[in-house]
Amino acid sequence: MHTPGPAVSTPQSAPRFAVGLTGGIGCGKTTVADLFGARGAAVIDTDRIAHGLTAPHGAAMPALIEAFGPAYATPDGALDRARMRALVFSDPDARTRLEAILHPRIREATAAAALLAGGPYTIFVVPLLIESGTWRERVARVLAIDCSEDTQVARVMARNGLAEEQVRAIMAAQVSRARRLEEADDVIRNDAGVDALLPQVERLHRFYLDAAEKLAGQPSQRL
């Protein structure tokens, strides 16, 4: 195991040990994050934060309506996801504009949630952690949840009722499994049942607890 690296810090708080949890669609990020949460880790799910920003009257909605027009909002004031997905799929400039609105707001809301987090350490769930670039230096460890591509396809088809080619198209737009594993400090294999996750989560939870304690015990690193 590597020595723990940097931690998320803010002017208001001592640095906290932070882990970035990532993985391809359907690999089991939420399932694994919940197991860490049950052991006391503070779990911050950036996908849920992003969804909240574009939910009915979410904080990003005024800026999105201004940039794209009211046709991109549903009658209840949420983002019309299907319409926006179709637009950004065919128009890279629209994707850039969408991300310019969403990304800083996601960062801000994530930082605010991190400030409020209890528990001995924080796990940020970031589906596109490897793709996004800026997360790597914000966390001490990158934890990849890994499973075979066939397992991913089967899980997402069962959960979302999508056709195999739709799931494979989403996977093709994400970073490759090999690249994700290369970038990860820690890996949890999730091809078997949930029982097979428990010892892996236990082992890493103890490792993260130790690292968090060491970080907290280093006065020179406190702000």
46 binds ligand ATP (CB under 6 A): no
- Determine if 161 is a binding residue for ligand ATP (CB under 6 A): no
Residues 6 or more apart in contact with residue 127 via CB below 8 angstroms? 22, 23, 25, 29, 46, 47, 174
Token output for 122? 């924080």
Alpha-carbon distance of 218 to 154, in angstroms, equals: 46
- Residue 144 half-sphere exposure, CB side, CA atoms within 13 Å? 20
Pick between residue 4 and residue 23 the one whose CB is nearest to ligand ATP.
23
Binding mask 122-151 for ligand ATP (x = CB under 6 A): -----x------------------------
Residue 71 carries which side chain, given as an amino acid letter?
A: A
Record the tokens describing residue 82, joined without a space: 């299907």
Tell me how far CA of residue 145 lies from CA of 66, 98, 104, 161, in angstroms: 37, 28, 26, 22
Residue 38 near ligand ATP by CB under 6 A: no
Q: Which stretch binds ligand ATP (CB under 6 A): 48-56, 98-106, 172-180, 193-201?
A: 193-201
Position 159 contacts ligand ATP (CB under 6 A): yes
Binder of ligand ATP out of 16, 155, 180, 205 (CB under 6 A):
155
Contacting residues for 148 by C-beta, under 8 A, at least 6 apart? 191
- Cβ distance to ligand ATP smaller for residue 68 or 124: 124
Residue 67 CB, nearest approach to ligand ATP (Å): 26
User: Interface with ligand ATP includes 31 (CB under 6 A)?
Assistant: yes
